């Protein structure tokens, strides 16, 4: 009978209280202890394996594209208003940012899907 390798090494890092709570909540949501969840995430990232149905590379692309989409949305709205001689209040700018953030991931996924189809086609 082959015995499984024992985990004898540990990795440590410092996080803020808010970061810790976020990590702990995410681990709990996935039904794992914080240590189990972190090990899975770290190893999946290093090995490029899938985590929650997507590779670490794919998740990074989605995150970057989402930020670009939100930035583009904000920039185009601000430039359009300025071109029409309008100015933005702080409240209007905050509202614009919140709207851009609300659907940035959905738009990013759509754009990446379209780009993938174009590359395949």
Contact 104, 70 (CB under 8 A): yes
Q: Which two tokens stand for residue 12?
A: 């440590």
pLDDT-wise least confident of 66-70, 102-106, 113-117: 113-117
Three-state SS annotation for the chain: CCCCCCCCCCCCCCCCHHHHHHHHHHHHHCCCCHHHHHHHHHHHHHHCCEECCEEHHHHHHHHHHHHHHHHHHHHHHHHHHHHCCCCCCHHHHHHHHHHHHHCHHHHHHHHHHHHHHHHHC
pLDDT digits (tens, 9 = 90+) for 68-80: 999 999 999 999 9
pLDDT, residue 42, reads 83
Other C-beta atoms closer than 10 Å to the C-beta of 4 total: 5
Local confidence band at 2 (pLDDT 50, 70, 90 cut-offs): confident
pLDDT band per the 50, 70, 90 thresholds, residue 54? low
Query: Quick one: angle between helices 56-83 and 104-120, nearest 10?
Result: 110
Residue 50 bridge partners (DSSP): 55
Domain ranges in the chain? 17-47, 57-120
Question: Is 0.85 surpassed by the pTM of this model?
Answer: no
Q: For all residues of the chain together, what is the average pLDDT? A: 86
Structure confidence at residue 101 (pLDDT): 92
């Amino acid at each position: 009978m082959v015995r499984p390798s024992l985990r004898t090494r540990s990795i440590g890092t410092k996080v803020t209280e808010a970061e810790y709570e976020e990590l702990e909540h995410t681990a709990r949501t996935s039904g794992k202890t914080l240590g189990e969840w972190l090990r899975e995430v770290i190893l999946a990232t290093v090995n490029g394996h899938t985590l929650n149905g997507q590779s670490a590379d794919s998740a990074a692309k989605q995150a970057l594209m989402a930020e670009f989409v939100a930035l583009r949305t904000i920039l185009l709205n601000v430039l359009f208003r300025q071109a029409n001689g309008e100015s933005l209040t702080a409240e209007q700018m905050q509202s614009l940012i919140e709207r851009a953030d609300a659907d940035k991931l959905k738009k990013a996924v759509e754009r990446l899907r379209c780009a993938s189809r174009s590359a395949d086609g």
